[in-house]
Structure 1
Amino acid sequence: MLKRYLRWLIVAAAIAFLGHTLVNHWAEVAAMRLRPRGLGWLGLALGVSLLAHGWAGWVWSWILQALQQPVKGTWSTPVYLKTNLLKYLPGNVWHFFGRVRALGDLGIAQGPAIVGVVLEPLLMANAALLLGLASPTRYWPAQIAGLALALGAVHPRWLNPVMNRLGQAKAKSDRDEPLPPAALHRYPLKPLLGELGFVLLKGVGFALVISAVSPLPVPLWLPVVSLFSLAWLAGLVIPGAPGGLGVFEAIAVTLLQDMLSAGVVLSAVALYRLVGTLAEALGAGLVVVVEKV
């Protein structure tokens, strides 16, 4: 019960912050308009965002292969895209359940399936922290420390025992035989680099959205993408916010308001939420259409 209240408190605090910022800068936001080629920039942002999610689905197969599971990208990508929208349901975990179930239907044991699903956001977090270092903030020392811990957490020496205990605990709770262990034989460098590409594509999509409402000088693209990755990470790891809703926007405004005007940032985060959700819906819809053809 306490956890449920904490989740709603986090979302409420993020929304309250955004509301307060919006009220203070309403005149700027109301004056914002799409640039003459703004729709083109938004269309490009939609395409890049869709590509990012498709790429993440392919990288998921690399994660499963690192766990010695014979999963191909041609299977993992459509499953990933179809389950992606489930993260917007309360609890922010239903997309994980959907992927574990799909892996089970494929014949993969529950232990490796659970680990293969849980390892993905861990690697995404590492990738976001890596990209976040490209634009130093006042929290840079904490970012470096967090990155060192996060990179160490996915090392086989530390991760394999945790994964094995997870399997044993799951089997005990189900009163079943111990689940087959899921183990990494080497550091998951290839999946990590793949997730870095995913976060980078997401950041480029956000920069394109900004370009739809205001010119974004070339020297600012890397800092914007870097700070975006930290805001996106906050939405990923803070519990209770479906799809990072509210949390991502609040952190993005906080990090970017010294670099861009408040009106531009507020308009961009609102448009990006629309573009990002549309890209996820489009990805899931395309999979359904292709499967019916």
Structure 2
Amino acid sequence: MSNLPESDLPEKPDDAVALPNDAGALPNDAGAKPNALRGLLANGFKVLVTVGIIIAIIFAVKSQWSEVKSTITELNWWTLAASSLFIFLGMGAAVRSWQHALGALEQPIPAFDAARCYLVGQLGKYLPGSVWAFVLQTELVRRAGVSRAAGFVAVLVTVGLSTTSALVVGLFGLPALFEVSTVAAIGVIVLVPIALFCAYPPVLTRLVNLALRLLRREPLQKPLTMHKIALALGWCAVSWVLYGIQLWLLASSSAGFEIRGLIQCIGALALGMCAGVLVFVVPSGIGVREAVIVAALSPFMDAGVALGIALASRLLFTLCEVFAGAVAAMSGSRVLRNAFVHEHSRVPDPSKA
């Protein structure tokens, strides 16, 4: 043992002390590059999806306009304005349904965030394969503070409740569906009780917990309640009714205002849009919705005029959805920018330093 005091002992080289820190820093440095690459790829994918949506929307509007120009020019301006208004009202009801579905899953978000996630996400359906809308909504709701797994389950629940309400409301359009396909009409009759059974809160709770288990997430802390599920279903039904009214307003310009026509339009549009979602291989269910609508309108007008009305309805939907999605996206960007500026503009108090 040395008799020298500790202060006289030779100092250890700096690198001997730094080795553990350097060794520990290597994984961080090594992990930084994959993280940066992953972030770059994610941003590139987002840009690619955005550009794809814009191109798809431009193509959809251009192709629809060439087919529907003559019908649009024959419609009164107030008919177009009123139809657009009911589309926006239907979107609002759909947003409320989406918000109630998230609340039922113990993931409540403010109305503004719900509108932004839903309206911007809806633009994804114009890409080939309507599932893109669900992917975008899942990602957007994650940014609103909901986990990706919970957001994905919420999207599935919303689609299920929306489909259930569409099938129920669509019963009013069964006569038109029988004209298109007897098998499809019988299928709707069979699916209605099955869908209602799956929407029953105890059953839906088990289905949600099963999905969460497959995603390796904790089950719901509380079972779904009838009150919250009924609210989501009710707002879905309201959206289908409002969408059907906009079709009826367009059709009434050629066939007159009849209650029987209103009931047919509400049921047919609900079934047509529901079928368009289920047939997800085509963008926004193009062609599927129109077939049901033309069959519903054929008793009141010529088939060619009915097709023009159906295409005019789709074009109005496209324009309204693009407008609502753009406003929601810009509003969301402004809120995030203001929050960022507010956070970084705060000056620390020197007295508390």
- Shorter-chain TM range is 0.7 to 0.9
Distance 1:105 1:144, change over 3 A: same
More helix by share: 2
**Gap change, CA 1:184 and 1:89, over 3 Å in 2:** farther
Structure 1 position 130, deviation (Å): 1.5
Counterpart of 1:281 in structure 2 is 322
Structure 2 CA distance for partners of 1:106 and 1:231, relative to 1, 3 Å: closer
In structure 2, runs of 5+ residues without a counterpart are: 1-66, 336-353
State the alpha-carbon separation in 1 of the partners of residues 126 and 295 from structure 2: 23
- Correspondence for 2:266: 225
AA in 2 matched with 1:241:
V
* CA gap 1:91/1:141 in 2 versus in 1, 3 angstroms: closer
Task: Verify the 8 A CA contact 2:137 2:155 in the aligned structure 1.
Answer: yes
User: 1:123 & 1:54 partners in 2: Cα distance?
Assistant: 16
Which of 196, 220, 224 is matched with 1:151 structurally? 196
Question: How many residues were matched structurally?
Answer: 258
Q: Which has the larger radius of gyration?
A: 2
Q: Which of these residues, 107, 122, 125, is aligned with residue 163 of structure 2?
A: 125
State the match for 1:7 in structure 2.
none
Most deviating of 180-189 and 126-135: 180-189
Give the conservation status (yes or no) of the 8 Å contact 2:131–2:280. no
Is the aligned partner of 1:91 residue 2:129? yes
Secondary structure of 2:301's match? Answer: coil
Supply the distance in 2 between the matched residues of 1:223 and 1:80 (Cα, whole angstroms): 28
In structure 2, C-alpha distance between the alignment counterparts of 1:184 and 1:263, rounded to whole Å: 50
Q: 1:211 to 1:38 in 2, by over 3 A?
A: farther
Match of 1:268 in 2: 309
The match for 1:115 is 153
Secondary structure (helix, strand or coil) at the match of 1:49 reads helix
Q: Equivalent pairs: percent with the same residue?
A: 24
Q: In the alignment, which residue of structure 2 is the partner of 1:54?
A: 92
Give RMSD over aligned pairs. Answer: 2.6
Retained in 2: the 8 A contact 1:42–1:209? yes
Q: 1:212 to 1:283 in 2, by over 3 A?
A: farther
| Corresponding residue of 2:256 | 215
Tell me if structure 2 keeps the 8 A contact 1:33–1:213: no
Inter-CA distance 117–184: structure 2 relative to 1 (3 Å threshold): farther
Aligned equivalents of 1:54, 1:230: Cα separation in 2: 20
2: CA distance, partners of 1:160 / 1:265: 42
1:60-99 residue pairs with structure 2 within 5 A? 60-99=98-137
Contact in 2 for aligned 1:109/1:179 (Cα 8 Å): no
Rounded to whole Å, the distance in 1 between the matches of 2:71 and 2:153 is 45
Partner Cα separation in structure 2 for residue 31 and residue 153 of structure 1: 44
Structure 1 residue 246 displacement after superposition: 1.4
- Equivalent residues of 2:121, 2:133 under 8 A apart: yes
The one-letter amino acid of 1:278's match is: L
8 Å CA contact retained: 1:110, 1:179: no
Structure 2-normalised TM-score?
0.66
Correspondent of 2:206 among 139, 147, 161: 161
Distance 1:142 1:41, change over 3 A: same
Please state whether the residue corresponding to 2:139 is helix, strand or coil. Answer: helix
- What is the match of residue 16 of structure 1? none
Relative contact order, higher structure (CA 8 A, sep 6+): 1
DSSP-derived class of the 2:80 partner: helix
Compute the displacement of 1:277 (Å).
0.3
Partner of 1:186: 225
- Correspondence list, 1:162-177, <5 A: 162-170=207-215
The runs of 5 or more residues in structure 1 that have no matched partner are: 1-25, 171-177
* 1:243 maps to 2:294: no
After superposition, what is the alpha-carbon deviation per residue over 1:228-276, rounded to whole angstroms, capped at 9, x for unaligned? 2222221121231211111111222234323432122111011011100
- Residue 293 of structure 2: SS of its match in structure 1? helix
* 1:164 CA drift (Å): 2.4
